[in-house]
Amino acid sequence: MPNSSTLNPSVRWDSPGPGTLRRWQALIPGWFAAEARDLPWRRPDCTPWGVLVSEIMLQQTPVVRVLPRWEDWMRRWPAPADLAAAPTGDVLRAWDRLGYPRRALRLKEAAAAITARHGGKVPEDEAELRALPGIGEYTAAAVAAFAHGRRSTVLDTNIRRVLARAARGEAAPPPALSRTEYRWAAALVPEDEAVSVRWNAGLMELGALVCTARSPRCTACPLAADCTWLAAGRPGAEAPTVRKQTWHGTDRQLRGAVLAVLRAGDAAVPRGLLVSGREGTASVPESLTESQLEALARLRRLNPDPARMDRIVTGLIGDRLAQENPEGLTLPD
């Protein structure tokens, strides 16, 4: 069965030679031990649940923004059963502005599944982790490695970039993670379990601190002497440029504004907070405050398309507001 490298000669999947690989497998864990940041989910006393929470929060979200939310979260819900029993509105408010709030909903669902099906213990097996809501290939591998010390192939944006540069001389990995790339990277993971964990953690940390996307600090890199990309003169990104969705004027922007209104509000007054994704609508049996209704009306006045506002608000807060406002979604003006 030919892989993409044989089908497309322009794609090179060069691996480091045996000697070089052996050197990297010593350098990376060593560098990690010396240079790693002291993050709370890396402390020896952090539970597997704490690691899982961190991995979910860190999806597409920088470490510095996760830190305070993670601390609050773990203090409030120190075990899966605690989160599983929490009201959805509390969960979403505690998520604050981390973004992608569906992650919070799925984390709560995962907590319930862990409580019901796994005796309250975070699974160690990657397939079992992968079966939990919100946990994909990356997160399953990361939890297996960092929560349980298991050998796995962790491939996040950092590791993919470091390996693309050091081993293949490319400025950036392909836009999509292929099976070819996965198998290629899996073959580089050290056999020894304990070493493999520091390999995964070290490559990730290297990508976050040194081999960064924009201004890599190659002079501080333990792989500098062997780096194919550096040796080639750090050729610029071939820029796959996947053209991004514009932000201003999109449904996402408006949804974010509505979500901010729902998240805020007077703490003394019961309030609702509901979020939906394609998979459905989550709700809490509370009502909106007058100030929240007024804020929504303000958003509506700013939005030139009332039908679109209706669609966004309906998607976010479902039938609840419609019941409180029998005339469709007519809000106080």
128 catalytic residue (yes or no): no
Q: 235 in the Ramachandran plot: left (φ > 0), alpha (ψ -120 to 50) or beta?
A: beta
User: Is residue 88 at the binding interface for DNA, with CB under 7 A as the rule?
Assistant: no
Among 69, 108, 151, 161, the residue binding DNA under the rule CB under 7 A is 161
Asked if 69 and 160 touch (Cβ cutoff 8 Å), the reply is no
State whether the Cα torsion 150-155-158-164 is positive or negative: positive
CA distances from 26 to 30, 33, 123, 145 (A): 6, 11, 29, 18
The yes or no reply on residue 107 touching DNA (CB under 7 A) is no
| Contact characters 33-72, DNA, x per CB under 7 A | ------x-xx-----------xx--xxxxxxxx-------
CA-to-CA separations, 70 to 40, 74, 121, in angstroms, rounded:
9, 6, 19
**For residue 274, what are the contacts with CB-CB under 8 A and spacing of at least 6?**
89, 262, 281, 282, 283, 284, 316, 317, 318, 320
Instruction: Return the residue of 75, 241, 323, 327 that touches DNA, per CB under 7 A.
Output: 241
What single letter denotes the amino acid at residue 226? Answer: D
Q: Which residue in the set 255, 271, 300, 320 belongs to the binding site for DNA (CB under 7 A)?
A: 255
Q: What is residue 277's DSSP assignment? A: E
Q: Is 302 in the site for DNA (CB under 7 A)?
A: no
270 binds DNA (CB under 7 A): no
Q: How far is the CB of 88 from DNA (least distance, A)?
A: 15
Amino acid type, 330? T
Q: Is 177 within 8 Å of 7 (Cβ atoms)? A: no
Classified as helix, coil or strand, 276 is strand
CA angle 278, 280, 285 (to 5 degrees): 145
Tokens of residue 217, six digits: 């600090």
Is 23 or 100 the residue whose CB approaches DNA more closely? 100
Is residue 294 within 8 Å of residue 332, measured between CB atoms?
A: yes
- Joined together, the tokens standing for residue 127 give 């397939």
280-282/275-277 β-pairing: antiparallel
- 309 touches DNA (CB under 7 A): no
Would you say 158 or 196 has its CB closer to DNA?
Answer: 158
Rounded CA-CA distance 77/57 in Å is 14
* 192, 251, 266, 319: residue in contact with DNA (rule CB under 7 A): 251
The verdict on 311 binding DNA (CB under 7 A) reads no
Residue from 29, 48, 101, 318 binding DNA (CB under 7 A)? 101
| Cβ nearer to DNA, comparing 75 with 243 | 243
Residue 97 C-beta: closest distance to DNA, Å: 4
Question: Closest CB to DNA among 92 and 331?
Answer: 92
Given 35, 55, 191, 238, which residue is catalytic? 55
Q: Which is nearer to DNA, 167 or 201 (CB)?
A: 201
Verify binding: residue 205, DNA, rule CB under 7 A.
yes
The reply to whether 186 sits near DNA by the rule CB under 7 A is no
Which residues are tagged catalytic?
A: 55
Q: Which residues bind DNA (CB under 7 A)?
A: 39, 41-42, 54-55, 58-65, 97-102, 106, 133-140, 142, 156-158, 161, 175-176, 178, 204-205, 207-208, 212-215, 237, 241-242, 244-246, 250-252, 255-257, 259-260, 275, 277-279
